[in-house]
């Protein structure tokens, strides 16, 4: 049995807590806050909310996942890791992940999601409800793949990229790091780093961004 701390206290943290309770061998032990200490005064989902600087007694006996849907969750993860926390990987029982694919630490795979064969998800990737990851596809660390997104086979998604709800990425497409694919976009060709694309077919609408 893994005692789990959820980094974050917003509504997505409640969603991740629900996911975690569906996973055999996981016990949600509480939440962790790092920005607003006032949020530690009241329980969340009837569980304690710990301040990030006060979790030292829990380090040896607990693991964590980060429940911030923004790709900038890397900051919270790094803060927790610096204190010694290690990270669990959670796959909802209603998701399908090929046995020939691998998921790094801290990944979350939601209900009805599919990860095809020979694919790799880097650390702290979020694959939200009903998202599809094709075969032989690589998803970089801290990516967020939002509900209903469909990434085809043999694709490469760079670190900290955000793929919005219902977006489609065609096969053999490469998307750079810290990019944003807007909800409903259809990506038909490669996308460089640090841009936002939207539309059908997707076109660059903003440059010089840092993910979402």
Side-chain half-sphere CA neighbours of 174 within 13 A: 4
CA angle at residue 55 from 124 to 91, to 5 degrees?
A: 30
The whole-number pLDDT of residue 212 equals: 79
pLDDT per residue over 18-47, tens digit each?
A: 999 999 999 999 999 999 999 999 999 999
Residue 44 is classified by DSSP as: B
Strands (E), 111-193: 114-115, 120-121, 126-127, 132-133, 138-139, 144-145, 150-151, 156-157, 162-163, 168-169, 174-175, 180-181, 186-187
Q: Which residues of the chain have pLDDT under 70?
A: none
Model pTM score: 0.96
Domains of the chain from N-terminus onward = 2-87 (3.40.50.20), 90-205 (2.160.10.10)
Model pLDDT, residue 90: 98
Structure confidence at residue 60 (pLDDT): 96
The answer to whether the bond into 172 is cis (omega within 30° of 0) is: no
Q: How far is CA 15 from CA 10, 75, 108, 163, in A?
A: 9, 20, 11, 19
């Amino acid at each position: 049995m893994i005692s789990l701390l959820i980094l974050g206290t917003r509504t997505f943290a409640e969603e991740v807590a629900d996911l975690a309770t569906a996973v055999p061998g996981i016990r949600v032990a509480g939440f962790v806050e790092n920005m607003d200490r006032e949020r530690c005064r009241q329980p969340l989902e009837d569980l304690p909310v710990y301040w990030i600087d006060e979790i030292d007694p829990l380090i040896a006996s607990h693991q964590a996942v980060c429940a911030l849907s923004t790709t900038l969750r890397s900051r919270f993860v790094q803060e927790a890791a610096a204190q010694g926390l290690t990270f669990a990987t959670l796959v909802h029982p209603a998701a399908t992940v090929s046995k020939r694919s691998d998921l790094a630490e801290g990944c979350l795979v939601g209900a009805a999601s599919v990860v095809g064969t020979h694919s790799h998800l880097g650390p702290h990737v979020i694959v939200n409800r009903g998202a599809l990851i094709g075969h032989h596809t690589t998803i970089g660390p801290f990516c967020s793949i939002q509900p209903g997104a469909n990434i085809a086979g043999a694709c490469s998604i760079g670190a900290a990229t955000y793929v919005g709800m219902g977006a489609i990425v065609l096969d053999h497409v490469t998307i750079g790091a810290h990019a944003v694919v807007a909800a409903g976009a259809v990506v038909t060709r490669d996308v460089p780093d640090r841009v936002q694309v939207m539309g059908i077919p997707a076109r660059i609408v903003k440059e010089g961004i840092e993910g979402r």
